[in-house]
Structure 1
Amino acid sequence: MNRIKELRQKNKLSQIELANKVHASNQAISAYESGTREPKEPMWQALANFFDVSVPYLKGYMVCTRCKGYFIPKDDAVRENIKCCPYCMNPYFEGDK
């Protein structure tokens, strides 16, 4: 699942406010968040730019801060149980505090 809703709520925005910021409809934002509709690449980029994250991160991938490699963890994976990047063994991912 993508991180649009998580980032929108973290930034204390309503769906309407986010839609206005990225020139989309609030219905589109709702559909993106629920997974019933997938944004097109320009919208992914607009959302990523707005939230200052990478598109892969926004799409729900784990993105390594060192090698920029990315992967989607298994559905039941817990972030704390993923110790490092499978490509370069870096323990830090985009979005970590």
Structure 2
Amino acid sequence: MMNNRIKELRKKNNLTLKELSQKVGMANNTISRYETGKREPKLETWQKLADFFDVPIAYLQGTNSYIKKYELWTCSRCEKHFFATEEPKYCPYCGSTKRLCYGTSKTISF
């Protein structure tokens, strides 16, 4: 039996099988088989589920530890750079709420 994290992430996001199946466009019995390891998803399916949960495929498959995606932001006012996991409401250095520019992404393992 395969130890993937589909069910873990589904429950963590408070989704039923039916809700997840509707959101990703798959039959709920198919997702159930993926969760229990009775069926192996194709690479495209792994990617679709990984994108939905915003995690790397390897994490979803259970083959590595959690990886969080951080995005590099720049404040146009003070010109300092900082990482955030979602769009920031203000610059952590000068407090500016305007002119925050998205930079690049970086993955960090925990």
Question: Could you say which TM-score interval applies, normalised by the shorter chain?
Answer: 0.5 to 0.7
**Cα RMSD (Å):** 1.7
Bigger proportion of residues as strand: 2
Shift of 1:64: 7.3
Bigger proportion of residues as helix: 1
Which residue, out of 5, 8, 11, partners 1:6? 8
Which of 1 and 2 has greater Rg? 2
**Superposition TM-score, scaled by structure 2 size:** 0.58
Counterparts of 1:11-50 in structure 2 under 5 Å?
11-50=13-52
Residue deviations 1:58-94 (CA, integer Å, cap 9, x gap):
00011475xxxxxxxxxxxxxxxxxxxxxxxxxx73x
Runs of 4+ in 1 over 4 A off after TM superposition: none
Q: Following the alignment from structure 2 to structure 1, what is the Cα–Cα distance between the partners of residues 55 and 17?
A: 18
2:59 touches 2:66 (CA, 8 Å); kept in 1? no
**Superposition TM-score, scaled by structure 1 size:** 0.65
Whichever residue aligns with residue 51 of structure 1, its letter is F
Residue deviations 1:39-58 (CA, integer Å, cap 9, x gap):
11111000000000000100
Query: Structure 2: 5+ residue runs without aligned partners?
Result: 68-107
Whichever residue aligns with residue 45 of structure 1, its letter is Q
Identical-pair percentage: 51
Q: 1:64 to 1:23 in 2, by over 3 A?
A: closer
Q: 1:38 to 1:10 in 2, by over 3 A?
A: same
> Which SS does the other structure have where 1:62 is aligned?
coil
Q: Following the alignment from structure 2 to structure 1, what is the Cα–Cα distance between the partners of residues 5 and 23?
A: 17
